Amino acid sequence: MGFFDSLLGDDFFGDVGDGVFGTDYLKDFTHAKKLFRSDAYALAPNQKFLFHVFFTLNVPYPSSDSGLVGALVKSVQLPSYSIDTKEYIQYNRKRNVHNKIEYRPVDIKLHDDSSDTVRSLWYNYYSYYFADSDYAYDSPVNNGGPQGNGMAYNGRDIYKPEWTHPAWGMSTKSASGSVKPPFFKNIKIYGMSRGNYILYTLVNPVITEWRHDTYDYAQADGIMEHSMSVKYEAVKYSKGKVSDGIPGFAEPQRYDTSPSPLGKPGSTASVLGQAGLVDSGLSALDDLANGNILGAIKTVGTQYRTFENADMSFKDIVRDDVLTEARNQLPGVVNNLGRQVGDLFPSNNGTGTVSTPPAGRVRPTPINGGTNG
């Protein structure tokens, strides 16, 4: 075993050494680390599943909680735009000029829930704008329904002197004769990350297409859904803190607001990692300082049970944690060490003269009266 092997251990010149000194195949990850991990992951990409949708209505909704519909959204498309551009010629030079903007429809998919919440929203929208659904429908007895004549829809009144039900199709007037306000005031789409949210507000949206799903015997594991397309008149952008509140999101009656067990101190078989041995020790000390003896015992017991049930031995866990931390930290340590060595022994830049030290630094005193360089 060589000197460096005995000094640094067998593992250093393996994966860790490759991470420090580099190889033809294992490259430095400094770029990704600086770009995506800096400033508490400020530039890390947002995740698709962290979102919430809220429908703001201008009309009373039959349910007391219209925010429930937003919790049943499966997926929502963010707004997109098409800008009509005209090309003009100015003394043989081309000029592109914006003419108008087109807001492309947004597609939203929702669960077909057993309580009929989403389908009821559509029926209320449909009956709000169109009179076709206003009349009671009585199925004839021979079709298995209750006694009735079904004349509102099944009757033919072409040759009658007057129509029994003249109001069909689009209905813009309310029962009092006033003009109806739009059904939706807006649809708000929240995307969340690191305790913050970004918000897209679709102004005055209207449904342009509604699609129910398909029943299918062949899809034994399939679940039903509704989908709709909406057009809107404008989009507003904003952002804020999730802690400030998002309508319909994280309400205790529908969301589990308790912390994840994976984030509880002592819940992971790790020494330096999140919720590992170091975290559980600090948490136990805080509990003891605050007089929460039971909490400290519970944290230590959780950590003991986690290690007891781990697939690897404690020695292997410590080894992997230390090597992982070394891979993350040693490149920076070596770089800092290199800069310090460079300050102690500056190069002469090939001119035979000593380079000027950086401002604010004192050059070391020459040894035995010699000169630096």
Taking the C-alpha atoms of residue 106 and residue 81, their distance in angstroms, rounded to an integer, is 10
Report, as an integer, the average pLDDT of 104-123.
94
With 0-12 / 13-18 / 19 or more C-beta atoms within 10 angstroms meaning exposed / middle / buried, residue 99 is exposed
Residue 87 has a pLDDT of 94
* Both tokens assigned to 202: 């679709």
Distance CA 105, CA 82 (A): 11
Angle at 123 between CA 117 and CA 128, to 5 degrees: 130
pLDDT at 359 over 70: no
- Domain spans, the chain: 51-130+170-244
Read off the pLDDT of residues 206-241 as tens digits, 9 standing for 90 and up.
999 999 999 999 999 999 999 999 999 999 999 999
CATH of 51-130+170-244 given 2.30.110, 2.40.50, 1.10.760, 3.40.50: 2.30.110
Most confident of 118-132, 274-288, 299-313: 118-132
> What phi and psi, each to the nearest 5 degrees, are found at residue 348?
-95, 5
pLDDT band at 281 (very low <50, low <70, confident <90, very high): confident
**Average pLDDT in the 247-271 region?**
72
Q: At a CB cut-off of 8 Å and minimum separation 6, what does 322 contact?
A: 271, 272
pLDDT reported for residue 14: 56
Read off the pLDDT of residues 124-143 as tens digits, 9 standing for 90 and up. 999 888 888 777 766 554 44
Which is more confidently placed, 284 or 290?
A: 290
Name the residue with higher pLDDT: 6 or 192: 192
Overall residue count recorded for the chain in this entry: 373
Longest Cα–Cα distance of the chain, Å, equals 124
Q: Which residues contact 327 (CB under 8 A, 6 or more apart)?
A: 15, 16, 19
Choose the most confident range, by mean pLDDT, from 94-98, 265-269, 357-361: 94-98
Average pLDDT on 41-67 reads 81
Residue pLDDT, tens place only, 154-183: 666 677 776 666 677 888 777 666 778 889
Angle (deg, nearest 10), helices 277-289 and 293-308: 160
Give this prediction's pTM.
Answer: 0.62
350 pLDDT above the threshold of 60: no
> At 139, which amino acid appears?
S
pLDDT band at 149 (very low <50, low <70, confident <90, very high): low
